[in-house]
Structure 1
Amino acid sequence: MSFGVYIHVPFCATRCGYCDFNTYTPTEVDSSYEQYLDNLERELALADGPQADTVFIGGGTPSLMGADGLGRILKAVKDNFGLAPGAEVTTESNPESTDPGFFEGIREAGFTRVSLGMQSASTPILRILDRTHTPGRAVEAAREAKRAGFEHVNLDMIYGTPTETEDDVKKTLDHILSAEVDHVSAYSLIVEDGTAMARKVKRGELPAPSEDTFADRYELIAHTLESEGFDWYEVSNWSKPGGECQHNLIYWRGGRWWGAGPGAHSYMGNERFYNVKRPEKYNQLLSAGELPIAEREQLTADDEHMEKIMLGLRLKEGIPLEWINDSALPVVRRHEEAGRLIVDKRVRVTKTGRLLADGIVTDILAAE
């Protein structure tokens, strides 16, 4: 089973209105990038795990660290875990904090994959999302990454934003295809409690997203990408052959990973643990020589079974039929008869089932 290392960079230049991730703008936290890097190195020196098959630096905005900072992080991972031959090494990057020199620098440092937050190619939609880049910048950044030698480049898009039209989605897809990347992630907008967008929806300033709209948008995205040579391998992810994100497959296949950085989660054996969220507390604990773990959770066999079903059914490869308890087989057969599942030695969602994957999982687990 593959092993991954996840690094969380908790800093953003500005806060997007829809985001509820563990991130902080400069005015929200008393912690410098240098302090963060120093203490991240301390944490990695205290970490314990096998050689890494994948490394993924997410956030937040990892590109704010610059090529030198990201290179320093990768070196710390190499020094403390080691990298397996051919390891996949990914960083997320925001288009507005990258340039050709950045991509050249991280490629030289050993990164093999870049994931860029595009979200939309529509100026009004980017404004609603509080994104600061211009519509064409994500495509330009993807091309810069490819010129720097990156074979694997991902573009993230969000669909279902309030006021979004079908033409907005088509325009975004046109931009993505023009960038000639080998991976696309498309996520429906979730209006999270406590965010600026949730407050606007509650006040009636923005319409609430519609489930029917989400379904229509997903079908448009899937049809467009799949007709252009992309294949879905997870409900929200498409790639050209060989472009699948190996790090995320570790999550979806129930693999193990160590998470470092403020708020990062780890899954080692049947134990899950996560770090303190605030960078100041993170710095304080590591400066005292302590791992910054906030809480540990021992998973039961039932917990692990539930997660294997929940995550595995989102994959095109599905799950072995033998994983389904006998009590849930009638539910599986009912979804098969309705055209939502394919059932042989494995259980897999159909094209229709992809739209209802979460509900199918809920039905199966409730029957068990």
Structure 2
Amino acid sequence: MPLIRAMYIHIPFCTHICHYCDFNKVFLKGQPVDQYLEALRKEIAIVFREHPPAALETVYIGGGTPTALSEKQLNRLMDIIHSFVDAGKLKEFTVEANPGDLTGEKLAILKAAGVNRLSIGAQSFNDSLLERIGRTHRAKDVYEAVEQARKRGFENINIDLMYALPGQTASDVLRSLDHLFRLDVPHCSAYSLIVEPKTVFYNLLRKGMLALPAEDEEADMYERIMEEMEKRGLHQYEISNFAKKGFESMHNRIYWDNENYYGFGAGAHSYIGDRRIANIGPVKKYIEKLEAGQLPVREEQRLSLRERVEEEMFLGLRKTEGVSVAKFEKKFGFSPFAWYGERIRRLEEENLLAFEGGKIRLTKKGKLLGNVVFSQFLVGG
């Protein structure tokens, strides 16, 4: 029986749809939210019967927008989680939040339920840019959300930022960082825009109507983010994540360590044993499956040894500390150099990787060219 330390719950409802978002989500109005929550309860019950949560340490509720739920629905979701999980024994209990949805009442519900970490989707502190990317909140809403959260005892707060947005400049990124540092939160995730299919931005890009920063401008933004975060005491512990000591995300660390986790909800993914499981995405089909007493599995893949090794490398290299050779050998029975020795040496020569202290890690140059490095550890890379 695999020890599973992390549990992800997906809430696919949003009060608006952002222009860049390709996550599994639907516009909230008219959706069967109460039936969805009941289906979620059934899914957890079925999976936990087969794989009991003996070692659960983290719960992460993402979306969509979990805080788009009404107070009554949010209470119901917390009750469902409590019926399966002792929240008092969790090391980390995170909920994603939209600044415009995070009311005092909802914060009180989350605090009472044992939530101890909030992840607030700011994306930018430039109001005109927020409008351009389809966000409905404004910079003042982020300040208010953080203030209200702190009044109710939340200190472990993450702010999500995005860069390389349409029409964005490096100076604009620095201004958003200034706002971030004024808030003095202990964690920030900074992601570059990736234009995905089935998004508003993708359609605009195909029509030649989306002006994005050039690659060298994007690289400059990322370098400045890394430099400014370090100056302010937020150390980079993963390619896109920065934290004060002791505030690193435990839940996401489990993903990057390539360990098992539960995933519940429409479109959610699980990793149990050597199986990766993807749930059905459409909300109504997800509900129908569970009302029929069936798990809502869309796809299940049993990973080969090669696939597990590949994932161990490209996920582990996302961490600033890199891949521990000793942990790799304990997990697989052989060294990463046995499979990738020539590639690792070549990447070292190109100053993309470094091997020191028993760990293989990205250099600063390697962080800027992360996807190039990761591809070298895939079949045909």
TM-score (norm 2): 0.91
Look up the match of 1:257: 261
Matches within 5 A, 1:259-298: 259-298=263-302
Look up the match of 2:348: 336
Look up the match of 2:203: 199
Asked if the contact 1:122/1:168 (under 8 Å) is kept, the reply is yes
Look up the match of 1:155: 159
Look up the match of 1:47: 47
> Which range moves more in the overlay, 64-73 or 208-217?
64-73
Q: Residue type matched to 2:351 in 1?
A: G
Query: 2:200 and 2:242 mapped to 1: Cα distance?
Result: 30
CA change 1:60–1:95 in 2 (3 A) is same
Look up the match of 1:122: 126
Q: Residue type matched to 1:11 in 2?
A: F
Query: 2:118 and 2:292 mapped to 1: Cα distance?
Result: 34
Contiguous gaps of at least 5 residues in structure 2: 330-334
Query: 1:109 and 1:2 mapped to 2: Cα distance?
Result: 22
Instruction: Give the C-alpha shift of residue 22 in structure 1.
Output: 0.7
Q: Residue type matched to 1:23 in 2?
A: K
Of 23, 26, 41 in structure 2, the residue corresponding to residue 24 of structure 1 is 26
Percent of counterpart pairs with the same letter? 37
Runs of 4+ in 1 over 6 A off after TM superposition: none
Count residues with an aligned counterpart.
Answer: 366
Of 93, 104, 108 in structure 2, the residue corresponding to residue 104 of structure 1 is 108
Asked if the contact 1:96/1:132 (under 8 Å) is kept, the reply is yes
Matches within 5 A, 1:128-147: 128-147=132-151
Asked if the contact 1:11/1:62 (under 8 Å) is kept, the reply is yes
Residues 254-282 of structure 1 show CA distances to partners (whole Å, capped at 9, x for unaligned) of: 11111111111111000111111111111
Residues 219-250 of structure 1 show CA distances to partners (whole Å, capped at 9, x for unaligned) of: 11111111000011110000001111111111
Instruction: Give the C-alpha shift of residue 65 in structure 1.
Output: 1.6
Instruction: Give the C-alpha shift of residue 121 in structure 1.
Output: 0.7
Asked if the contact 1:18/1:192 (under 8 Å) is kept, the reply is yes
Asked if the contact 1:201/1:208 (under 8 Å) is kept, the reply is no
Asked if the contact 1:155/1:185 (under 8 Å) is kept, the reply is yes
Matches within 5 A, 1:47-126: 47-48=47-48, 49=51, 50-51=53-54, 52-83=56-87, 85-126=89-130
Look up the match of 2:187: 183
Residues 186-218 of structure 1 show CA distances to partners (whole Å, capped at 9, x for unaligned) of: 000001122111111222222244221221110
Q: Residue type matched to 2:16 in 1?
A: T
Query: 1:71 and 1:312 mapped to 2: Cα distance?
Result: 36
Instruction: Give the C-alpha shift of residue 180 in structure 1.
Output: 1.1
Aligned residues: CA RMSD? 1.9
For the pair 1:235 / 2:247, whether they are aligned, the reply is no
Of 14, 17, 31 in structure 2, the residue corresponding to residue 15 of structure 1 is 17
Asked if the contact 2:4/2:262 (under 8 Å) is kept, the reply is no
CA change 1:85–1:310 in 2 (3 A) is same
- DSSP-derived class of the 1:47 partner: helix
Query: 2:115 and 2:70 mapped to 1: Cα distance?
Result: 13
Asked if the contact 2:167/2:212 (under 8 Å) is kept, the reply is no
Contiguous gaps of at least 5 residues in structure 1: none
Q: Residue type matched to 1:312 in 2?
A: G
Q: Residue type matched to 1:360 in 2?
A: V
Look up the match of 1:35: 35
Residues 122-159 of structure 1 show CA distances to partners (whole Å, capped at 9, x for unaligned) of: 12211121000012211221222122111210000110
CA change 1:295–1:334 in 2 (3 A) is closer
Query: 1:9 and 1:238 mapped to 2: Cα distance?
Result: 25
CA change 1:292–1:78 in 2 (3 A) is same
TM-score (norm 1): 0.94
Look up the match of 1:361: 374
Instruction: Give the C-alpha shift of residue 340 in structure 1.
Output: 2.6
- DSSP-derived class of the 1:118 partner: strand
For the pair 1:326 / 2:338, whether they are aligned, the reply is yes
Look up the match of 2:6: 4
Residues 152-177 of structure 1 show CA distances to partners (whole Å, capped at 9, x for unaligned) of: 10000110011001221111111111
Query: 2:208 and 2:374 mapped to 1: Cα distance?
Result: 33
Instruction: Give the C-alpha shift of residue 367 in structure 1.
Output: 7.4
Q: Residue type matched to 1:15 in 2?
A: I
